[in-house]
Amino acid sequence: MKKKLVYLLSAITLSSVSLPAFSADAPIRWKLAETWPKGLPIYSEGTHEFAERVKELSDGRLIITIDSANKHKAPLGIFDFVKSGQYEMGHSASYYWKGKDVNTLFFTTMPFGMITAERFAWYYYGGGAELAQKVYGQYGITQYPGGNGGNQMGGWFKKEINSLEDIKSLKMRIPGFAGEVMAKVGATVVNIPPGELYTALERNTIDSLEWVEPAMDLRMGFHKIAPYYYTSWHEPGSGLQYMVNDKAFNELPKDLQSILKTAMKESAFEISTRMTHEHSENWEKIKQEYPNIEIKTFPPEVMDALKAANQELIADLEAQGGLTAEIIQSQREYLRKVRNWTSISDKAYLNN
């Protein structure tokens, strides 16, 4: 009788206790979808290193599996994957979602805008993170910096650009707001996923494209088809992003939330730093091993047209008011302030 009473009390006690949602013996498993094809240097490698870091810091309690574009077959569908919860995380670039929400444009880069250091400063200390939350929070997503490619080159061209008329004859792959600027000055603009770029250029589906910079471009082989490599104007500090589904994140224990955020920040630093290193390495290769590549700068006529088109398009967006105007004004004011310092420090030093 005494044993039965003990068993009964034990059963009652256990039934009234709220067991933890997660067991130490059963790791939490997340999936991350990335825009990049499997094995893409730096970008895809960076997400895999991020997942390993999360596993290490969490002592195996949080396991993140990476699905590259080769597997999920939707390189430009990452936003919807994360929004729906099909994937808990994504790695991509914010300006790919301009068709869903124009305000996502501003969290990758803008033509003639902030360079990498300025953009990170604006995001973390100048109100950028709060504005990103206003944009992405509507969709149940929080976005975080996921690395920065730096000052991107102006693209690969099969023919030399000598005038504005040459731009008007182009069919060019160029995403984001820069694509709108190029379209305004007369180019035909298309957006093609990274894994299809070489084939599109080779088959004359396009006759020019921008991708990243030497760190990524030489590996893609664009120089074999389009030898004219133009300097930057459109992506002065091109930021990648991690996207996290808010519902999934809020269900994590607090320590795993902290681990995830720490690992994303570390990943952004690693990707950005490695990009700078690889740019310098591959720039040496261009000079020494690829004499056929001709480094060019757009003529003043073209640059003036691009600047004017950019200003007109920005003015049109700002006139819409609301959150769009708030972001534009925030970036403009921060750029004015931070560029004063960049000019008297880095620019003055480099001009010595």
Instruction: Give the pLDDT score at 337.
Output: 97
Q: How confident is the model at residue 344 (pLDDT cuts 50, 70, 90)?
A: very high
pTM to 2 decimals?
0.89
Instruction: Give the pLDDT score at 318.
Output: 98
Instruction: Give the pLDDT score at 213.
Output: 87
CA angle 77, 83, 85 (to 5 degrees): 100
The overall average pLDDT reported for the chain is 92
C-alpha 192/C-alpha 202 separation (Å) is: 13
Instruction: Give the pLDDT score at 216.
Output: 87
Instruction: Give the pLDDT score at 195.
Output: 86
C-alpha 42/C-alpha 322 separation (Å) is: 37
Q: How confident is the model at residue 24 (pLDDT cuts 50, 70, 90)?
A: low
Instruction: Give the pLDDT score at 219.
Output: 87
Mean pLDDT of 143-160: 96
Is the pLDDT confidence value at 9 over 60?
no
Is the pLDDT confidence value at 11 over 90?
no
Is the pLDDT confidence value at 60 over 70?
yes
Neighbours of 57 (CB within 10 A): 18
Place of tokens 């808990």: 88
Q: How confident is the model at residue 287 (pLDDT cuts 50, 70, 90)?
A: confident
Q: Helix or strand or coil: residue 93?
A: coil
Instruction: Give the pLDDT score at 193.
Output: 87
Mean pLDDT of 278-287: 92
C-alpha 224/C-alpha 216 separation (Å) is: 14
Mean pLDDT of 269-290: 93
* Domains of the chain, CATH where assigned: 28-148+237-277 (3.40.190.170)
Q: Given the DSSP bridges, would you call strands 294-296 and 228-230 parallel, antiparallel or unpaired?
A: parallel
The contacts of residue 241 (CB under 8 Å, 6+ apart) are 90, 91, 92, 93, 94, 107, 108, 143, 144, 145, 146
Indicate left, alpha or beta for 85 from its phi (over 0: left) and psi (-120 to 50: alpha): left
Q: pLDDT digits over 76-106, tens only?
A: 999 999 999 999 999 999 999 999 999 999 9
- Hey, what are 346's tokens? 């880095």
Q: What percent of the chain is predicted at pLDDT more than 90?
A: 87
- Hey, what are 189's tokens? 């603009």
Q: pLDDT digits over 167-214, tens only?
A: 998 999 999 999 999 999 999 999 898 889 999 999 999 999 999 889
The contacts of residue 290 (CB under 8 Å, 6+ apart) are 218, 223
C-alpha 324/C-alpha 321 separation (Å) is: 6
Q: pLDDT digits over 316-330, tens only?
A: 999 999 999 999 999
